[in-house]
Chains A and B, each alone.
Chain A
C-alpha cells in the first residue's frame, strides 16, 4: 500500500467518524416534521447530508427504541409506509443536543 492510499484511507475514516456524530442531530432535526424513510433520506441528501439506507434505517430503529422517535404505518399512494416524527422526549433531547452542538461549533470556530 502506498503512502497516498494510506493517507486517503485515514482521511476517509476520520471523515466518517466526524459525520457519524452529526448524523443523529441531522436526523432529529429533519424529523421535527413527519417523514417516511425515503423522503427523510432525500431531505437529508438535499441538505448535503447523504446517508445510505443501511445506516439510516438501523439508526431510526435505535432512536425509536430509546424513545426519541415515534412511528406509525400508514397507507399513502396505495402503499404502506412507515412515518417517523420526534416524540416529546425526542424534542427535549434535540433541544439539549442543539445547545451542545452550538457550543462545540463556537469553540471550534474560535480555534480554526
Chain B
C-alpha cells in the first residue's frame, strides 16, 4: 500500500457505500494520472514528500468526500454544531451506542422480570430517557469538538504510516497539545470549559439521585435504598462541586492564574478526602428496600455485597485523594523553588498572580 492508496482509502471511508467504488476508481485514476504527468515533467519518480504535497493540495479526505455526498444534513442548535462532513459518522456512532445501551438495559429488565421483580413502566421510561440523554449529550459533545477542529484547521491532517499501512490522522491530539503546551504558563480554556460542563452535569445528577435512587442503582432501586449517610454528604459535595465550578470560571476569565488553580485544587481535594473519610465511617451505604417475606434474605445479601464493593470504592477514592494532594503540594513547592540561581522573568510568569 502506498500514500495514494492510504489517501483514497481515507476518502472511501467517508463515502456512501453505493457510490464508493465508482468515486474511488475515478479519484484514484485522477491522482495516478497527475503523478505520472509530474514524473514525466521532472524525468524521475516523485519522492514521498512530493507525493504527500500533491495529496495535501487535494485537501482533507473527509472534506473531499463530503463534496460528493448529496446528503448535506447537519445538527444545529441555533448555530450549526455538527456539519455535513461529520453528520453521517455522528448518526452511525449515536445509533450504535443507543442500540447497544438499550440492548443491555433491555437485558437487565428482562432478567429482573424473569427473577420475579416488579418493574413499573415508570422505571423503564426513566431509565431509557436517562441513557438516551447521556449518550446523546456525550456523543454530540465529542462530535461537535471534532467538527470545530475540522472547521478551524481543515489543513491539519496527514496520512500516517503504521505497520506498513497508511491511515488518516486528523491531528486532533496535536491541536489539544498545542493549545495546552504552547502556553505553559496558562490554564487551557478548553479544560476550564470542560470542567464547568462536567461539574454542572455531575451536580444535576447528584441532586436527582437523592430523590430518584434508580439513577445510581438502575432497576435495583426497586429493592435497595440509599442509607442516611448519602443525605449527610449531599450538601458538602454540592459545596465542593460549586467551588470547582467557580474555580473553573475564574480560570476561564484568567487563564494565567495557574497558582490560584494549584492552591484551589489542593483545598478542594482535601475537602473531597474529608467527605470520603466521613463516608467510610458510616460503614453502611445501602439498605435493603421494603422486604417481601420470601425475598428479605436475598435483598439483605445483595445489600451486603453492594456495601462491600462501596467500601473498596471509598477506600480507593481516599487513597487516590491522598496521592493527588501530595502530588499537587509537591508541584506547588517546585513552582516556588528558584531554578538554579537568578533568571529572567518570563512574560507569562509576570502575569501570574
The reply on A61 being an interface residue by CB < 8 A is yes
| A56, closest chain B residue (CB) | B30
Task: State in angstroms the CA–CA spacing of A82 and B32 once bound together.
Answer: 14
Residues on B with beta carbons closer than 8 Å to the beta carbon of A79: 29, 32
Task: State in angstroms the CA–CA spacing of A58 and B63 once bound together.
Answer: 13
The reply on B25 being an interface residue by CB < 8 A is yes
| B60, closest chain A residue (CB) | A54
Q: Is the CB of A54 within 8 A of B64?
A: yes
Residues on A with beta carbons closer than 8 Å to the beta carbon of B37: 38
Q: Is the CB of A54 within 8 A of B58?
A: yes
Task: State in angstroms the CA–CA spacing of A92 and B96 once bound together.
Answer: 48
Q: Is the CB of A38 within 8 A of B27?
A: no
Task: State in angstroms the CA–CA spacing of A36 and B33 once bound together.
Answer: 10
CB distance from B105 to the nearest CB of A (A): 42
Residues on A with beta carbons closer than 8 Å to the beta carbon of B63: 54
- Categorize the interface residue count of chain A: 10 to 19
CB distance from B48 to the nearest CB of A (A): 21
Q: Is the CB of B25 within 8 A of A57?
A: no
Q: Is the CB of A61 within 8 A of B29?
A: no
Q: Which DSSP category, helix, strand, loop or mixed, fits chain A's interface?
A: helix
For window 24-54 of chain A, which residues contact chain B by CB distance below 8 Å? Answer: 36-39, 41, 52-54
Q: Is the CB of A57 within 8 A of B23?
A: yes
For window 56-103 of chain A, which residues contact chain B by CB distance below 8 Å? Answer: 57-58, 61, 73, 79-82
Residues on A with beta carbons closer than 8 Å to the beta carbon of B29: 36-38, 79-82
The reply on B67 being an interface residue by CB < 8 A is yes
- Given A53-B58, A73-B25, A80-B25, check contact A58 B30 (CB 8 Å): no
The reply on B107 being an interface residue by CB < 8 A is no
Residues on B with beta carbons closer than 8 Å to the beta carbon of A53: 27, 30, 58, 64
Q: Is the CB of A58 within 8 A of B25?
A: no
Residues on B with beta carbons closer than 8 Å to the beta carbon of A54: 58-59, 63-64, 67
| B64, closest chain A residue (CB) | A54
Task: State in angstroms the CA–CA spacing of A1 and B241 once bound together.
Answer: 39
- Categorize the interface residue count of chain B: 10 to 19
- Given A54-B58, A55-B67, A58-B68, check contact A38 B25 (CB 8 Å): no
Residues on B with beta carbons closer than 8 Å to the beta carbon of A82: 25-26, 29
Q: Is the CB of B34 within 8 A of A58?
A: no
Q: Is the CB of B30 within 8 A of A37?
A: yes
| A61, closest chain B residue (CB) | B68
CB distance from B159 to the nearest CB of A (A): 17
Residues on B with beta carbons closer than 8 Å to the beta carbon of A39: 33
Q: Mark B31-42, 1 if CB is under 8 A from A, else 0.
A: 011100100000
Residues on A with beta carbons closer than 8 Å to the beta carbon of B26: 37, 57, 82
- Given A73-B25, A82-B26, check contact A58 B67 (CB 8 Å): yes
CB distance from B56 to the nearest CB of A (A): 13
Q: Mark B10-36, 1 if CB is under 8 A from A, else 0.
A: 000000000000010111011011100
CB distance from B29 to the nearest CB of A (A): 6
Task: State in angstroms the CA–CA spacing of A39 and B36 once bound together.
Answer: 13
Residues on B with beta carbons closer than 8 Å to the beta carbon of A81: 29
| A76, closest chain B residue (CB) | B29
Which of A38, A52, A58, A61 lies in contact with B33, CB distance below 8 A? A38
Residues on A with beta carbons closer than 8 Å to the beta carbon of B34: 38
Task: State in angstroms the CA–CA spacing of A39 and B58 once bound together.
Answer: 17
Residues on A with beta carbons closer than 8 Å to the beta carbon of B33: 37-39
Can you list 13 residue pairs at the A/B interface with Cβ under 8 Å? A37-B26, A37-B29, A38-B29, A38-B34, A38-B37, A54-B63, A55-B67, A57-B23, A58-B67, A79-B32, A80-B25, A80-B29, A82-B29
Residues of chain A touching chain B, judged by Cβ–Cβ distance below 8 Å, are 36-39, 41, 52-55, 57-58, 61, 73, 79-82
Besides A80-B25, A82-B26, 14 other CB < 8 A contacts?
A37-B29, A39-B33, A41-B30, A53-B30, A54-B58, A54-B64, A55-B67, A57-B23, A57-B26, A57-B27, A57-B68, A58-B68, A81-B29, A82-B25
The list of the 3 closest CB pairs from A to B, nearest first, reads A38-B33, A54-B67, A37-B30
